[in-house]
Amino acid sequence: MLNKYYLTTAIDYVNGAPHIGHAYEKILTDIIARHYSLRTDNMFFLTGTDEHGIKIQKTAASQGITPKQLCDENAQKFKDAWAKLDIKYNRFIRTTDKDHEQIVQKIFQKLKDKGAIYKHEYEGWYCQGCECFLNPKDLTEDGLCPDHLKKPDVVKEENYFFKLTDYKDAIIKHIKEHPDFIVPSFRANEVLNQLEDIQDISVSRSKENVGWGIDILDDSEQSIYVWIDALSNYITAIGYDPDGSSEQFKNLWPVDVHVIGKDILKFHAIYWPAILMALDLPLPKHIFAHGWITIDETKMSKSLGNVVSPTSVLENFELKYPDAFRYYMATSAPCGRDGNYSDQDFKEKVNAHLANSMGNLLNRSLSMLVKYFDGEIKPEFIENRSQEAESLLKTAIGTIKIVENHFNHFEIQEAAQEIISLVDATNKFVTDNAPWTLAKEEKMTQCGQVLATVLEIMCVISSLIYPYCPNIATDMAKQLSYDVATKYDDITVSNIKAGKLITKEEIFPVFLRVDSELADKSKK
């Protein structure tokens, strides 16, 4: 058992509604959180929204509302979407929360008092999409931001700057000495290359140009700029305070993992560690940079009209629960690589894995138990099992450790593949041992032993699949009289007890094919 696990997502900018890319990150993080909830009693999952800056200010003005009204409206859209996707966070922080704003002011003042922040007049290329100044060498041949493909503005201001260059060598040293700091590891070289010519960064904006931000305590003409404001949410949300932090902060920090998109890795692997070093705080244990999600192999774009709402898939397929979508998104790409969504692939994968392989395995095993034994587990069914059965049960327990190891390295797709491999092995065991034939031959003890072995393994599978498919897993466990919240260290292969397990009326399919006319309807 771990003594704690603290993980965060990036906080989403609220000048628009959530899309499938936002959902991908939140689903991955929720799956990691649920997995670790079965490995510790002290798990904390943070998500939220980033609500200051020029884009919010301009979007609100174009809609004839205040920036706070825009933030309130769009932050709720994110909350509503995550509720529909069963994202169970411990806190949803908004950077307009009063406790966050007050601590950010203290953080800025502490860095300023320490000499890590200085005032400087600067002229440079500023990208509103990135909310940062860009080096000329980072622009495309046409002078555009490589991420947003727009020409940056020439901005000349007197702002406060953070001495990022003072921490360059320490960050390089940390990355090289901690090869698992950045996940996947191949991203570390990108960060090291970016560090080669890193410059000090602007951490404030003139109120004349950006009025929607957190005030600097002793400078009425400047507001705190995005990076100290947004990145600090990871510590303000759990009670950090330069004047004396909470017990919760002392218990949870350093964070175990920041789950972010690969496009903001520089800010989390360079800017954030430098700020933490300046605050004399430990660095994150891991930064997991996931890839992007394309739609039908095409990058999402408003101009192409292929931006997909995270809840539209649920509505399109009339899914009562989000489990199928969660499973599909989580298994759409290997660790840190790009993934793709398509309706056809979604149907094929979830039907194959969740309905045909896993759901049908449980349903037919319970149905045979009712048909041949009136739903009863006889004592001899769980005694003197065959060598083949014992080997499969051992494989099931071994799969727990394999899955745990994959999660230790944030290999979410790879862990799911192990679970489905266990399902496939169990299906093969049923086919090879043919309990229907054993019953026909009146070899009832052997038939019962095969079914009891399968149901025992289904208990393990329900716990393993729970982070991905919490509703399906709960329905599986209910029919097995098993506690799906059993901690992984406590899982055994003696969950199925002698006695009445289930009646015909209590059996229902945990997941019907998405193209079935009964799929995910209330009728079971």
Compute how many other C-beta atoms are within 10 angstroms of the C-beta atom of residue 521: 11
* Averaged pLDDT for residues 66-82: 96
Q: Read off the pLDDT of residues 204-242 as tens digits, 9 standing for 90 and up.
A: 998 988 889 999 999 989 999 888 999 999 999 999 999
Residue 205's H or E segment, with its range, is strand 204-206
Q: Which tops the pLDDT comparison, 231 or 314?
A: 231
Q: Which tops the pLDDT comparison, 475 or 151?
A: 475
DSSP state of 264: G
Determine the pLDDT at residue 519. 46
Least confident range of 101-110, 120-129, 169-178, 471-480 = 120-129
Q: d(Cα 72, Cα 278) in Å, to the nearest integer? A: 33
Distance of CA 16 to the CA centre of its chain: 20
Please give the CATH number for the structural domain made up of 5-299: 3.40.50.620
Q: Does residue 382 carry a pLDDT above 70? A: yes
Determine the pLDDT at residue 521. 45
Say if CB 466 and CB 473 are below 8 A apart.
yes
Burial tier of 307 (Cβ tally within 10 Å: 0-12, 13-18, 19+): middle
Determine the pLDDT at residue 299. 66
Q: Read off the pLDDT of residues 434-448 as tens digits, 9 standing for 90 and up.
A: 999 999 999 999 999
Q: Which tops the pLDDT comparison, 313 or 83?
A: 83
3-state secondary structure 44-95: EEEEEEECCCHHHHHHHHHHCCCHHHHHHHHHHHHHHHHHHCCCCCCEEEEC
The pair of structure tokens assigned to 333 is 């790409």
Determine the pLDDT at residue 520. 45
Determine the pLDDT at residue 316. 87
Determine the pLDDT at residue 302. 55
Q: Closest Cα partner for 50 from 31, 28, 78?
A: 78
Q: Does residue 54 carry a pLDDT above 60? A: yes
Cis omega before residue 184 (within 30°)? yes
- What's the Cα-to-Cα distance from 461 to each of 333, 351, 393, 486, rounded to whole Å? 22, 17, 11, 12
Determine the pLDDT at residue 142. 84
Determine the pLDDT at residue 306. 53
Please give the CATH number for the structural domain made up of 342-506: 1.10.730.10
Phi, psi angle pair for 55, to nearest 5° = -65, -40
Q: What residues contact residue 382 under an 8 Å CB cut-off, 6+ apart?
A: 449, 452, 456, 494, 496, 497, 498
- What's the Cα-to-Cα distance from 359 to each of 122, 175, 236, 512, rounded to whole Å? 62, 44, 43, 8
* Averaged pLDDT for residues 503-507: 97
Q: Which tops the pLDDT comparison, 225 or 474?
A: 474
DSSP structure string for 273-326: HHHHHHTT-PPPS-EEEE--EEETTEE--TTTT-PPPTTHHHHHTT-SSSHHHH
Q: Does residue 303 carry a pLDDT above 80? A: no
Determine the pLDDT at residue 433. 97
Phi, psi angle pair for 209, to nearest 5° = -100, -40
Polymer length in residues for the chain? 524
Q: Read off the pLDDT of residues 328-352 as tens digits, 9 standing for 90 and up.
A: 999 999 999 999 998 899 999 999 9
Q: Closest Cα partner for 406 from 213, 218, 183?
A: 183
Query: Which positions are annotated as active-site residues?
Result: 19, 22, 127, 130, 145, 148, 299, 302
Least confident range of 197-201, 246-250, 276-280 = 197-201
The pair of structure tokens assigned to 337 is 């690589």
Domains 5-299 and 342-506 belong to one CATH topology: no
| Mean pLDDT, rounded, of the chain | 93
Q: Is 466 left (phi over 0), alpha (psi -120 to 50) or beta?
A: alpha
Q: What residues contact residue 2 under an 8 Å CB cut-off, 6+ apart?
A: 36, 39, 40, 42
Under the banding of pLDDT at 50, 70 and 90, the label for residue 267 is: very high
Torsion of CA 22, 24, 26, 31, to 10 degrees: 180
Domain boundaries, the chain: 5-299, 342-506
Strands 132-134 and 182-183: unpaired
Determine the pLDDT at residue 309. 84
Q: Does residue 104 carry a pLDDT above 60? A: yes
Q: Does residue 82 carry a pLDDT above 70? A: yes
Residue type, 523: K
Under the banding of pLDDT at 50, 70 and 90, the label for residue 301 is: low
Residue type, 155: V
Q: Read off the pLDDT of residues 115-170 as tens digits, 9 standing for 90 and up.
A: 999 998 877 787 877 767 787 777 888 888 887 788 888 877 789 999 999 999 99
The pair of structure tokens assigned to 477 is 């466990």
Determine the pLDDT at residue 74. 96
Determine the pLDDT at residue 9. 98
Strands 376-377 and 499-500: antiparallel
Instruction: Name the percent of the chain lying above pLDDT 70.
Output: 96
